[in-house]
Amino acid sequence: MKVHVHLAYGYDPAVWGRKFDDGSLIGINERDPYGYRHAAPMVAVMTSSKDHAEGRLGRLIRLGARAILGFDLVHAWRNRAAICAADVVWTHTESQHLAISQMFKVKRLNQEARPKLLAQSVWLMDRWDRLSKVRRAYYRRLLRHADVLTFHSRENLTMARTRLPDAQSEHVLFGINASDKVAPVRDDAAGSKLIIAVGNDVHRDWSTLIKAVARHPDWRLRIVSTTCSKSLAAGVANVEIAGVGDNAGLRSLYRQSAIAIVPLLPNAHASGITALQEAALNGVATIATDVGGLRDYFDDTEVTYVESGSVTALETAIERLLANPALRYDRAVAAQARMGIEGLSSYAFAKRHVEISRRVLGGR
């Protein structure tokens, strides 16, 4: 089985590897983007998309086409030889698989002449109802070129099966590098009251979190984000919003923290799952908003879930965990036990792609 992994421009394994080596990738990562290379020993050949050199004009054309179409057709076109040489193509988001489907149409490749396509979507179903009728019809036609639609969340999967009932669709749990774990530490209620919240996703509900913490001057909240507006914490002395310079700084914050929180706005694509898994690997008990299908990954013995948009519910959950070190420890241990090659991990994520691909290819 020949597999081609087509990722977004900027995720060329050579470029990503250099960033990994120099420590500029913040968070838990690995030398290969998203860990798809774990599947290399399971298949005959694996190739990856390349970032072709582009000048100002080339970049302008690529980004302009992406803005108009909603996907990066130019990047897919530049990688067409490697794509068409594969038995099956894996994509990470709709920007890649819609582009490949359009490339198939431009080249007039029928089903027998093209590789199989595993079309993974992240935001498409969330945004579907906000798309124009014309764009929905266009994307629906492109989605017919996908052999399997995959989603990280059962909520997204349900949406897809309702909107695209003729398409084959699968649930694929996303996972990160789970090779390194920091064992949870028992502490006491008089210990750290530092709360950490990490993330840059547009679905973070920073406002609700800050309001909950602002009522308790003895709590300290450190938001690690480059997208959260500092104006949200204006006049709130116990909230700090800033990025971190390196992974050592991020690990240090996790070690100092009693709780990690993933506050979320309503969504259906498991927003925040990377942050939840990172907290689990760092041995920190977590609170998360109960949206997006996160219970597919962690149940309520592993993560404390709270109602969306409720300052009171979040405040109560924080108070409960800060006052109960045994509960914090038990939740952290249980969540971390979910992480590993047989549970949640980039290895399991890659292996699932192999399993689906073999089925689509008839066992090859």
pLDDT of residue 30: 94
Mean pLDDT on 24-45? 95
- Cα–Cα distance measured from residue 167 to residue 152, given in angstroms and rounded to the nearest whole number: 16
Same domain, residue pair 7 and 151: yes
Nearest to 274 by CA among 159, 149, 122: 122
Nearest to 90 by CA among 68, 56, 120, 128: 120
Same domain, residue pair 146 and 252: no
The domain that contains 237 carries what CATH number?
A: 3.40.50.2000
pLDDT of residue 111: 81
Per-residue pLDDT of 123-134, as tens digits, reads 999 999 999 999
Whether 204 is in a domain gets the answer yes
pLDDT of residue 202: 92
Instruction: Lowest mean pLDDT of 85-89, 190-194, 266-270, name the range.
Output: 190-194
Per-residue pLDDT of 307-356, as tens digits, reads 999 999 999 999 999 999 999 999 999 999 999 999 999 999 999 999 99
pLDDT of residue 364: 59
Same domain, residue pair 263 and 350: no
Same domain, residue pair 44 and 81: yes
Whether 187 is in a domain gets the answer no
Can you say whether residue 311 is alpha, beta or left, with left for phi > 0 and alpha for psi between -120 and 50 degrees? alpha
Same domain, residue pair 172 and 224: no
pLDDT of residue 281: 98
- Cα–Cα distance measured from residue 264 to residue 270, given in angstroms and rounded to the nearest whole number: 10
* pLDDT for 190 beyond 60: no
pLDDT of residue 187: 77
Same domain, residue pair 152 and 117: yes
Same domain, residue pair 168 and 287: no
- pLDDT, averaged across the chain: 95
Per-residue pLDDT of 53-93, as tens digits, reads 999 999 999 999 999 999 999 999 999 999 999 999 999 99
- Cα–Cα distance measured from residue 142 to residue 144, given in angstroms and rounded to the nearest whole number: 5
pLDDT band at 113 (very low <50, low <70, confident <90, very high): confident
pLDDT of residue 103: 97
pLDDT of residue 186: 84
Sequence-distant (6+) residues with CB within 8 A of 252 are: none
Domain count, the chain: 2
* pLDDT for 189 beyond 60: no
pLDDT of residue 82: 97
* pLDDT for 210 beyond 90: yes
Domain with 20, as residue range(s), is: 2-176+346-360
